[in-house]
A and B are shown apart, each in its own frame.
Chain A
């Protein structure tokens, strides 16, 4: 075998191996999706989607309150977490090249790695015990603590990707620093920031542990910020633990709905915030 043939062979081998790795990576994802769709689709019906859970043991009932709960949570959490995360990210990127900035960045990274159950316990102590009940707002606070470092980090990274020449151009035009940051830098970093935010939403939409400690779950629809509430991940968990077949099927259905919500959010927000001029 000439060395050329050996090299060709190695090339082909490397290609095949990497292709196999990709397959291996996709297979679990693909099979999960297939399972969820296969098992969850039959559970879907108008009734399923619009009625609250029935009594335990009854095959009727649906996940309407869970859907509502998840959507409300996503909304509230974003309301708290996104602006805070955004501002932290902006601060770190534009003004954070000092000791304070480095410390904040460090704590941010630590917070990102916190086990979510610990966050749940913390908020439990802070809000549930203090206010005297499990509540929606506690859930939102817990989730926003999880969301915040992700948004801050991705915002910071996206802003840092904006070349300094863009900032210089704006400053040289006589535009003030804060205006430059808001109208030019953030604008240019838009797609990265949106991606980061969506990632964080997808993450918190599926968090279950903190919800156990904060919103508890309920059979009813949204009953006020200070009251317990249901959410899809909680519902899936509860349903999975019940010994009834109908419950398991409903659980698959709820999981499917959760995945659909996150996907829709993703696609929808990307579509809505597409600049005409992002990238080439």
Chain B
């Protein structure tokens, strides 16, 4: 049984940024997401946790219409971004992806491009040519990603020459450069060492001031550290969804309790 809103949530002035209604997803015949109805709060960090294969990555890929890029993948139900269904007839998925950005598990800067070009790629490749405007955006994005100071002296060096943690921050800067409203993160720190992870977690808490962040993580402590709300998924369903404090101090569902205390078989 999935909850719609986080339980024990105080009504606040800010609304729900991205909501799903009866979202289902398939890979061919395999039914991986079952009737997910979830509302995520604006300007907050929502974490999705759950064991491998529970559907959490599939879920966020439905939020920016990346799921359908896989052959034989199918979606049903609605995903509302600011109240408008992104799966409605006639909606351009490319436009959706500009509003809903994504950072992936393994840092993937474009290998043949410099740091500058990487960050600017989302804008350059969709038509923006004005060098001055690009300079401004690149600097702002790198600053937001806590990377500016480390690369400002050599923006022309290869994106691939940075360390793993820097590369991931570069990818974050690249995503922020197109000015999305929502930032999805699919296990962004799982390939990084603890120091790099800490930097990115710090960056996430700064991001939530202006963006809605949804992060998938298999590291529960990370979910506990950074998120405001946590959803626990199991076998394609949302088992429990509430404020992070409540989930980690007093989960209502026994399955949730067993998972987060490590008693899963």
Contact = CB atoms under 8 A, between A and B. Distances in A.
B178 A277 contact: no
Contact of B106 (A165, A184, A276, A278): A165
B158 A277 contact: yes
B255 interface: no
A97 B71 contact: yes
Query: How many interface residues does chain B have, given as a range?
Result: 20 to 34
Interface string B90-121: 00001111100110101011111110000001
A226 interface: no
B112 A165 contact: no
Given A173-B174, A277-B114, A183 B125 contact: yes
A136 interface: no
Dominant secondary structure at the A interface: helix
Interface stretch (A43-51, A112-120, A174-182): A174-182
A188 interface: yes
Contacts of A171: 66, 69, 97
B97 A277 contact: no
Contacts of B108: 163, 165-166, 168-169
B196 interface: no
A147 to B, nearest CB: 25
B251 interface: no
A174 B178 contact: yes
B109 to A, nearest CB: 8
Nearest to B94: A174
B101 A277 contact: no
B175 interface: yes
Contacts of B195: none
Interface residues of A, number: 24
B126 A169 contact: no
Interface string A83-124: 000000000000001000000000000000000000000000
Given A168-B66, A169-B171, A174 B110 contact: no
A190 interface: yes
Contact of B178 (A165, A166, A173, A278): A173
Interface string B203-223: 000000000000000000000
B122 A175 contact: yes
B160 interface: yes
A57 interface: no
Contacts of A190: 112
Interface centre among A168, A169, A188, A275 (most CB of B within 10 A): A169
B243 interface: no
Contacts of A97: 71
Contact of A278 (B97, B101, B112, B121): B112
A195 interface: no
Interface of A: 97, 163, 165-166, 168-176, 179, 183-184, 187-188, 190, 275-278, 280
Q: Which 3 A-B pairs have the closest CB atoms?
A: A174-B98, A173-B122, A277-B158
